[in-house]
Chain A
Amino acid sequence: MEAMTSLPLMTLMQLLFDTLLGFALLWLGWRALASPDLFQAIVLFIAFGLLMAIVWVRLDAPDVALAEAAIGAGLTGALLLTTLARLEAKNRSKSALEKKHKVWLMTENVKLKTASFLWLMVILMLLVSGLVYAVLTLQEQTFELQMLVSKNLESSGVSNPVTAVLLNFRGYDTLLEMSVLLLALLGVWSFGGIPKPHESLPGPVLNMLSRLLIPLLIIVAGYFLWVGSDAPGGAFQGGSVLGAAGVLLLLVGWRLCIRFVGLPLRIILVFGLGVFVSAAVVLIFLGRQFMEYPPSVAGALILLIEAAATLSIGITLAALFLVGRPEFRRHK
Chain B
Amino acid sequence: MNTLYLYTIVGVGLFTLGLYALLIHSDLLRKILAINIMGSGVFLILVALAARTQGAVPDPVPHAMVITGIVVAVSATALALALVIRVRTKVGHANLPEQSLE
A283 within 8 A of B: no
A138 CA to B53 CA, complexed, in Å: 13
Interface pair B74/A71, CB less than 8 Å apart: yes
When the two chains form the complex, which single residue of B36, B50, B84 contacts A61, counting CB atoms closer than 8 Å? B50
CB distance from B4 to the nearest CB of A (A): 7
Task: Mark each residue of chain B from 37 to 58: 1 if its CB lies under 8 Å from any CB of chain A, else 0.
Answer: 1001001110111111111011
Interface pair B60/A174, CB less than 8 Å apart: no
A19 CA to B77 CA, complexed, in Å: 30
B99 / chain A contacts, CB cutoff of 8 Å: 111
**What total of chain B residues lie within 8 Å of the partner, measured CB to CB?**
79
> CB-nearest residue of chain B relative to A234?
B67
A41 CA to B20 CA, complexed, in Å: 16
When the two chains form the complex, which single residue of B19, B73, B100 contacts A127, counting CB atoms closer than 8 Å? B19
Q: Which of B1-35 contact A (CB under 8 A)?
A: 3-21, 23-27, 29-30, 32-34
Contacts A109-B25, A110-B24; A33 near B16 (Cβ below 8 A): no
Interface pair B40/A72, CB less than 8 Å apart: yes
Contacts A19-B6, A72-B70, A323-B81; A128 near B25 (Cβ below 8 A): no
A280 within 8 A of B: no
A56 / chain B contacts, CB cutoff of 8 Å: 47
Interface pair B33/A112, CB less than 8 Å apart: no
Which secondary structure dominates where chain B touches chain A?
helix
A150 / chain B contacts, CB cutoff of 8 Å: 57
Q: Which of B72-102 contact A (CB under 8 A)?
A: 72-79, 81-86, 88-89, 94, 98-102
A208 within 8 A of B: no
CB distance from A313 to the nearest CB of B (A): 8
**What total of chain A residues lie within 8 Å of the partner, measured CB to CB?**
94
A198 CA to B76 CA, complexed, in Å: 25
A76 / chain B contacts, CB cutoff of 8 Å: 36, 73-74, 77
Interface pair B13/A26, CB less than 8 Å apart: yes
A45 CA to B102 CA, complexed, in Å: 31
Q: Which of A189-246 contact B (CB under 8 A)?
A: 191, 195, 234, 236
Contacts A64-B66, A173-B68, A181-B75; A135 near B8 (Cβ below 8 A): yes
Interface pair B50/A87, CB less than 8 Å apart: no
B57 / chain A contacts, CB cutoff of 8 Å: 60, 146, 150, 161
> CB-nearest residue of chain B relative to A84?
B29
Contacts A80-B29, A113-B100; A48 near B60 (Cβ below 8 A): no
A49 CA to B57 CA, complexed, in Å: 24
A263 within 8 A of B: no
Interface pair B33/A42, CB less than 8 Å apart: yes
> CB-nearest residue of chain A relative to B33?
A45
B58 / chain A contacts, CB cutoff of 8 Å: 59-61
B65 / chain A contacts, CB cutoff of 8 Å: 173
Contacts A83-B85, A170-B61; A60 near B40 (Cβ below 8 A): no
Interface pair A106/B47, CB less than 8 Å apart: no
Contacts A59-B58, A177-B72, A236-B67; A195 near B89 (Cβ below 8 A): yes
Additional A-B contacts beyond A33-B18, A80-B29 (5; CB < 8 A): A52-B40, A61-B50, A80-B81, A146-B59, A195-B89
B: residues with CB less than 8 A from A are 3-21, 23-27, 29-30, 32-34, 36-37, 40, 43-45, 47-55, 57-61, 63-68, 70-79, 81-86, 88-89, 94, 98-102
